[in-house]
Structure 1
Amino acid sequence: MTDFNQIAAPASASGPDDERPVSISARLGRLQFHRSGKFRVLQLADIQDGPKVSKDTIRLIEASLDAARPDVVIFTGNQIAGYDDAYRDTFRKRQWEPARRGKIERTRAKVRAGISAFLQPLIDRGIPFAVTYGNHDAQCGLSPAELDALYREFPGCINPPCNMDDSAANPGFLVRSVPSSGLPDQPVAACEPGTFAMPVLDQDRQRAVLGLVVLNSGDYAREGGYGRPSDAALRFVHDVPRWLGVRSLVFQHMPLPQYYDVLKAMPANADNAIQGYRKYDAQYYVLDDDRTLPGGYLGEGVSCPDEDCGEFAALRDTDGYIGVVVGHDHRNGFVGSLNGMMLVATPTCGFGSYGPAAANRAARLFEFDIRHPYSPRTQLLTFGELVGKPSSNKAYTYAVEGQSNAADGVNLLRKPGLLAGVAAALKKI
C-alpha cells in the first residue's frame, strides 16, 4: 500500500517542488486548525455510479479538491449505485432480503474498481477522507461492514474498524487511531460502519475546538419509505458531546423530517413550487426565505423518512451540535436554520444518475474559523464554475430549480477574510 504521507501533491495545487499532502491536517498528522485559524471540509454527495465512474464526476472531484484544498473530504452516502447492472448477480433491493452471495467476489472487485476511480484524486493529493452510506450502497450485495473494509484498503481512509457487538454495548468509547488514514495521531470514536466521531484540535493541539460526526442514517423502512439510524447510532450521537466536550457538525445521507420546516407551503400552481414526498405529497413547497439563506434551490421534494425517529430533538437538546449536512436529494441545494441548528442540503456531485443541470452539480465546501468555530461558512463548488461544459452528450434529467436568489452570497475561494459567515446570516433568519 502507498504511504499516504509520501504522496506528491499536484504541481498545480502546491507548487512544482512541493511533495507534501495538500491537506494541512495530513501534513500535521491529525485534524486541526491551521496557523491561519482556518479548517476546511469538503462534502461529496451521491456519486451514485457503477464500476466505471463518469469522467465528468472525476473532473468535478479533481477541480473541487484543487480549488478548496480541504483538510478532509466527507462522502455522505450513495457512492455506489448498488442497482447498477454490473451487480445484478448479487443485487439485493433491501438489506433484509436473502443474500445472493454466489458471485460476491466478482461484485467486490467491481465495487473496488469504482471506489478506486473516485478516490484516486484524493490519494494523488494526499487528502484523507471519511465515508458513510446511503440507501443504494449496500444494494450491490456488500454490507456496510464489507464496504468499510474496502474503503480501508485505500490510503487516507479514516473509517475505523469496529466490532459491532462491542460498539452496540458501549457506543462512543471505542476510541482508536487509523494510521493508514495519514492521520496517525487522530483519535476516532467508533460506533458502527459509517458512524463515528472525530475531534478537531486548535493550532497548538491543546484542546478540541470542533467535532465532526459521520452518521449512517439507514436505508429503508420495512413498513415503507426510508429508514432511520440504528438505536446504537442514536445513542452514540447523544453521547458524543460528553466525549468531545465541544459542539459538532453531523454529516449523513438522509434528510430529517425537520427539513420541511424550512420550506413554505404554497399552492400547486405557485412559481417554482415542488410537490412534497410521500407523507408530504399532498402539499407543494418552496424555500422559506425567512429560514434559508439566499442562493439556495429546491428541485425535488425532501425525501425523508415518514416517521420522526427523534434524531433532531436529540441533537438539539444535548446542545452539542451546530447542524446536520445531508445529500440524498440530488436536486436540492440550500442552507436553512431551525431552532439554532443548520440544516444543509447538498446536490449530487455525480454524473451517473439524475440531478440538476450539469453546470449545477457540485461539491460543498465548509470553512471553519477558530475565532467562531460554530459559525462555518459554506459554498457550493459547481461543475459549471470549476470545469465548464460536460464531456458527455448524455441527456441528463433534471427538474426546474426554484432559486430564492441567484447570488450565492459567499465565495470561499476569493478573499475569504472579507466574507460574512453563514452563522451571521443565519442570525437574521
Structure 2
Amino acid sequence: MRFREDGSFRVLQMADVQDGPDVLPDTIRLIREAIREADPDLVVFTGDQIRGYDPAYIDTFLRRRGEEPGARVRAVTEIEAKIRGIKRHPVIRKVSDRVADRLTEAGKPVPAALLDPDTVTNAVAAAGADSTDVITTSEVGDSVETSPTPETVSTLVYSTQSGKASPAHETPATLDELMNETREKVRRTFSGFLGPVVEAGVPFAATYGNHDFQCGILADEQDDIYREYPGCLNPDDSLEPGTFALPVESSDGSGRVAMSVMMVNSGDYAGKPEENDAQYPAYVVNPRGLDLADADGYGTPTPKAIEWLGSIQTELGERNGDGKPVPAIAFQHIPPQEFYDCLKEVPAWTPNAVEGARTHAGRCYVLNHEVCRPGSRLGEAIGCADENVGEVDALREAGGYFALFCGHDHKNSFVGHVHDIDLGYAPTCGFECYGPKSRYRGIRLFEFHESNPAGYVTRMLTWGNLVGRYSSNELRVWFEDHCVTGAVSARNELRRPQVFAVVAGAMSLGFIAIIRSLIKAAR
C-alpha cells in the first residue's frame, strides 16, 4: 500500500458487525454506502465480526476457549433458538478422559476402548459388556447411558440435546461434521459483510474480539478463511492471528514507509474458567450482564504483542534506513483502561451520565469535552480489562504512535487526547446486536496526509447521514438501544432525559389516578 499521488490515504474502521450466517441487509447497505462515500484505500475490521453466540452456532458454541464445542450454551441462545425454530443436532462425540477419571474415582474398571475411543458408540459397547451403570461427569454434555443388551447398545448414540442416548433413526452427526457446517456458516457471514468490500476492490484487514471465537472456529482458522477472499491483507506469518503491521509507503515510489497501520489482537477473556465454574449458573442466567461471571474481566494483548509494538517500530526504522519510528495508528477490539481518562467523574444524578464497569463500578462519568473532539458520544461504560498491562505506555515508549482506536462498546464513538496519544472508538456498524439508535450506527473514516499522518481527520459515516433516520426494523433497534439487563443499565436509562421524562410522566399519571380513586372512595 502507498499514499495516493495527492498525498492522501483513507481508512474505514468497521467495528462489531456481530452477525450470524445471514448478515442483515441494513448492515450490508451501510457498508456499501460508506465505501461509496469514502472511496477508501483500506478497510479494517476491529473484532466481533462474528456473533459467536448466535443460535446458528448452538452446536459448536464455546463459552471460553478450551472447552468442548456445544457443551455449555448460554440460556439466551437457547431461548432465541426456540423462537427461531433452530434445534440442536444429536451428535456422536469422542468420550473425554473425564469419563474414565470418574470410573476410576468410583472404583470401577475402565474399559480399554474408553481410554482411546474413536466414537462414543465404541465406548458404549465396551462399557455395556461390563456394566449397566450410567457413566456421567459433572458437565452437561458428557453423559453416556449403557444398556445390558447388545441389541439396544447398537442403537444408542450421544446427544447434546438431552445428554442421553438417542435412537439411531435421528441420524446424528459427528463433531467433525458439525464443525464443517460451522465453517461454512462463518464463510457465509464473511461473504455477507465482505461483499461490498470485495466488490469495490478495497484491501482489508481484520483482527478479533471476544465473541468471534465463540462460534467454535478459533482465530487462527478464521484467519485462513479470511485469506480466501480477494484483498485480504492478514499475513499467514503474523506474530499471532490479528496482530500484524500494514506499512503504507510514500507516494513517490521510493519504498519509504511513511506511515503504518498496526492491527492488534486484544484478547477475549481473562482468567481460567475451569477455576471459576461455581459461577457458571450465573453466566447462563444472565449472559449479557454477567458475560464475565466466570472470568477475571476482559482480555488484554499478550505480553509478546506488547513487546511487538516496540520491536515492529525498530524493524520499520531499519527498513527506512534512519532507525526512526514511523507515524503509526493502532486498531484493536477491547480498549485499555486509559480510555476512562477521556471521561470525568460526575454526581450520579447528572443527565446522560453512565456508570463505570468492574474496576470503575460505583462511579458515574460523562465525556470530558476538554480532551474529546467535537461530535464525540458516550453511550455506555467502557468495557476495559481489569488489568492494565501497560499497552498505552508501550505505545508511547516505542515512539511514532499517535492514535489507538477500538470497538467493543457498541454505543461509544468518542475521540479523546490523553497521555500524548489519541484514544477513540467506532460504534457498531451492525443491526443484529445491541447499540445506539439506527441513525448513530456507523463506520469511522480516517483521512491521513503523507506530510503529517498524525494530523489526520476523522468523522463518522452514520446510517443517518448515508441512508436515513430509521432502519428496516426500528422496533428491534429501539429494544437494543433501551434493553435493561440489570440495576446499572436501569439507572443509566433513567439518566437519559427523554426516558426519565416518559417514566416520570407515567408515574405522575398513575399517582393522579390513585389520588382520584381515593377521593372518590372517601365520598
- TM-score with structure 1 setting the length: 0.79
Residue of structure 1 equivalent to 2:412 = 332
Normalising by structure 2, what TM-score? Answer: 0.65
Aligned to 1:119, the other structure's residue is in SS state helix
Secondary structure, aligned partner of 2:476: coil
1:215 maps to: 264
Partner of residue 5 from structure 2, selected from 14, 26, 35: 35
1:14-46 deviations in whole A, cap 9, x for unaligned?
Answer: xxxxxxxxxxxxxxxxx1111111100000000
* Richer in helix (by share): 2
Q: Percent identity?
A: 46
Q: Which residue of 2 aligns with 1:111?
A: 186
Q: Which SS does the other structure have where 1:336 is aligned?
A: strand
User: How far apart are 1:268 and its partner, in Å?
Assistant: 0.8
CA–CA distance in structure 2, aligned partners of residues 203 and 320 of structure 1: 19
Q: CA deviation at 1:99?
A: 4.2
* Equivalent residue number for residue 313 of structure 2: 241
Q: Highest Rg: 1 or 2?
A: 2
* Mapped partners of 1:363, 1:129: distance in 2: 14
Code of the residue aligned with 1:127 in structure 2: it is: V
Aligned residues: 346
**Structure 1 counterpart of 2:476:** 395
What is the CA–CA distance in structure 2 between the aligned matches of 1:192 and 1:247, rounded to whole Å? 22
Structure richer in strand, relative to its length: 1
The residue correspondences of 1:91-106 to structure 2 (distance < 5 A) are 91-99=61-69, 101-102=175-176, 103-106=178-181
- Which of 23, 29, 37 does residue 67 from structure 1 map onto? 37
Secondary structure at the aligned position of 2:345 is classed as strand
The answer to whether 1:200 aligns with 2:275 is no
Which residue matches 1:295?
A: 375
Query: Aligned partners of 1:83, 1:317: CA distance in 2, in Å?
Result: 38
Q: How does 1:15-414 map to 2 (within 5 A)?
A: 31-99=1-69, 101-102=175-176, 103-162=178-237, 190-206=238-254, 207-222=256-271, 223-245=295-317, 246-388=326-468, 389-396=470-477, 397-398=480-481
Q: How far apart in 1 are the matches of 2:465 and 2:474? A: 19
Aligned counterparts of 2:435 and 2:429: Cα–Cα separation in 1: 9
- Opposite residue 138 of structure 1, the aligned amino acid is F
How far apart in 2 are the matches of 1:99 and 1:232?
A: 28
Which consecutive aligned stretches of 4+ in structure 1 deviate over 6 angstroms post-superposition?
Answer: 400-403
Decide whether the 8 Å contact of 1:299 with 1:356 is kept in 2: yes
Provide the rounded CA distance (Å) in 2 between the counterparts of 1:393 and 1:292. Answer: 30
The amino acid that maps onto 1:238 is: G
Farther-moved stretch of structure 1 (39-48 vs 271-280): 271-280
SS of equivalent to 2:183: helix
Shift in Å at residue 393 of structure 1? 4.2
Structure-1 residue corresponding to 2:123: none
Deviation, structure 1 residue 231? 2.0
- Cα gap change, 1:394/1:154 in structure 2, threshold over 3 Å: closer, same or farther? farther
Quote the Cα distance in structure 2 between the aligned partners of 1:315 and 1:85.
39
Unpaired stretches in structure 2, ≥5 consecutive residues: 71-174, 272-294, 318-325, 483-491, 497-523
When the two chains are superposed, the root-mean-square deviation of aligned CA atoms in Å is 1.5
